Amino acid sequence: MRWRLAAVLVGFTALVLLVQNIPLASYLRTVERNSIITALQRDAFTIAGFSVAALAVPAPTPQASLEKVVDDYSKKNGARVVVVDKQGIAIASSEGRDGEDYNNRPEIKAALDATAVSGTRPSQKLGEDLIYVAVPVRAGDKILGAVRLTFPQSEVDATVNGRVRGLGIAALITLMSAAVIAFFLASTITRRIRRLRDAAEKIAEGDMDARADVSGGGEIEELAESFNTMADRVQAVVESQRGFAGDASHQLRTPLTALRLRLDRAADLMDVDEPAMDQVDAARDEIDRLQRLIDGLLVLARADNQDHETVPVDVSAVAAERIEDWQALAGERDVSIELMGRGMAVALAVPGAVEQIVDNYVDNALEVVPEGSRILVTVRTEPSGVVLTVDDQGPGLAPESRDRAFDRFWRGSQDGSGSGLGLAIVASLAHAGGGTVWLEESPQGGLRAAARFRTQPSTAAAREAPSHRR
Ligand SMILES: Nc1ncnc2c1ncn2[C@@H]1O[C@H](COP(=O)(O)OP(=O)(O)O)[C@@H](O)[C@H]1O
Ligand SMILES: [Mg+2]
């Protein structure tokens, strides 16, 4: 995120520099060329002034003083100079080409026709472009000859390139500064957003007291404020709901116990063969079911309200102890319960959680397994935590129902005595300690109910656990 933001800022700066510098470079080239032409023109007129005396005589001959002016100028400015008479024959030349006929050169012709010209043309002799300036030499309105100055385009290019290079270096420095600034800017923004995200994650993990840091100004501060307001509201709603579930379950217990006692009394007063007796018995069964439901709801409410304080628990020892208690009931149904993986397997869990998870998993398995089958409980320590599994040889559960089975009141079938709260309690207790729970197909043929408990106190471990299915 930070790098992407910085890259966008730098890319944008690069684009601006490119859009700005390309026309600037071409503009520089034009300016440089024009300024050279102007200077050459001015110089050409000056040399033309010097040439008047030499050209004024009827048959002009090369003159030492003009030759010196031409040579000096050429040496000083790097331009080539040629002075021709009105027939186009050179009488002075910085290249020592006196007497040569220049009449076939279009710019000389133009100058002899009283027009000062300038421009660029390729020179076959030098194999490169030349900037030229040609002006007439006049005495009054008589044309005596012409002066031509030429300058290699490559030198203009070199000057311009030097300036463009300077421009490029400036652009590079700008770009690097932009990169540094963009990086810092992006870091600050992403750091603040990350802090906000951390607060949101803490709340999602159940730490309802977590709040975002409100500082730094701007939209992010406003966002943090809105976030905190929302968190306050959510916390209030969650707390009142939890309180309600707990209070309601608790309040229902007393009248229910009274109802049960009254029904027992009624049954005592009745004759065993009285037809109403069946109805009373059915009502007592319903009350028992209601009682279990309310007990489950109370356990759930407590698990949700718990401080999520974890203690080290030897999962292996707890499983062994619980299985011991279940053996009698399992024996009645000719079902064996075996524990695999003896030895310590210490994990962190909220007090009582491991017991309840084992109880619920074994209870569910016993509910569905056929007679003579086997329930296998395993406990093993993995890098990501302690994993407890309960495998049965029952009918299993369709994949699309496995997640839903952890929902409150969800039941695979309406017969039996269940309340649909067992697995919801399991999930709630496991999550309270930072653990995870899931159902999958068992290699034994039935269902595997599993739980993973943290071994590290950090919440990050739970978040990174690979099988984060619930
Ligand atoms: N070992 C299992 N094999 C098959 N189905 C299961 C098993 N354990 C749980 N289930 C299904 O998940 C549902 C929810 O289980 P639970 O929350 O414990 O509620 P209850 O046991 O009260 O019905 C059960 O009704 C059952 O359909
Ligand atoms: Mg159950």
Ligand 1 centre from 75 Cα, in Å?
Answer: 105
Average pLDDT, stretch 57-83? 85
- pLDDT tier, 3 (very low <50, low <70, confident <90, very high otherwise): confident
CB 315 within 8 A of CB 354: yes
Q: What is the pLDDT of residue 361?
A: 97
Domain ranges in the chain with CATH number 3.30.565.10: 307-464
Nearest residue to 347 via CA among 308, 318, 389: 318
The ranges of the chain annotated as CATH 3.30.450.20 are 2-158
- Compute CA distances 396 → 52, 365, 411, 424, whole Å: 117, 9, 13, 18
3-state helix, strand, coil split of the chain in percent (to 5) is 55, 20, 25
Strongest mean pLDDT among 59-68, 175-184, 411-420, 433-442? 433-442
Residue 458 pLDDT: 53
Mutation choice for ligand 1 from 411, 414, 428, 440, CB with most ligand atoms inside 8 A: 411
pLDDT one-digit tens code per residue, 355-371: 999 999 999 999 999 99
Structure tokens given for 61: 């001959």
pLDDT-derived band of residue 306, with 50, 70 and 90 as boundaries? low
In ligand 1, the atom with minimum distance to the C-alpha of 296 is 22
The yes-or-no verdict on residue 99 having pLDDT over 80 is yes
Q: Which residues fall within 8 angstroms of residue 168, CB to CB, at 6 or more apart?
A: 21
pLDDT digits (tens, 9 = 90+) for 374-393: 999 999 999 999 999 999 99
Residue bearing the CA closest to ligand 1, atom 10:
364
Angle subtended by helix axes 218-269 and 153-204, to nearest 10: 20
The mean pLDDT value for 208-225 works out to: 90
- State the ligand closest to the CA atom of 295: 1
Distance in Å, CA 334 to ligand 2 centroid? 20
- Under the banding of pLDDT at 50, 70 and 90, the label for residue 440 is very high
pTM over 0.85: no
Cα 368 to averaged position of ligand 1 atoms, centre (Å): 9
**Pick from 51-65, 170-184, 336-350: least confident:** 51-65
Q: Could you say which of 3.90.10.10, 3.30.565.10, 3.30.450.20, 3.30.2350.10 is the CATH number of the domain covering 2-158?
A: 3.30.450.20
> What's the pLDDT score for residue 468?
37
Q: What's the CATH number for 229-305? A: 1.10.287.130
- Residue 466: pLDDT band (50, 70, 90) is very low
Residue 6 has pLDDT above 90, yes or no: no
Calculate the alpha carbon distances from 378 to 315, 334, 355, 450 in Å: 10, 20, 14, 9
Whose CA is closest to atom 1 on ligand 1? 365
CATH of domain 307-464: 3.30.565.10
Q: What is the torsion angle, in degrees rounded to the nearest 10, for the CA atoms of residue 63, residue 65, residue 71 and residue 72?
A: -170
Residue 2 has pLDDT above 70, yes or no: yes
Q: Which of 113-117, 155-159, 175-179, 431-435 has the lowest mean pLDDT?
A: 155-159
- 3-state SS string for 407-438: CCCCCCCCCCCCCCCHHHHHHHHHHHCCCEEE
Q: Which residues form ligand 1's pocket by a CB distance below 6 Å? A: 360, 364-365, 368, 392, 394-397, 405, 410-412, 418-424, 446-447, 449
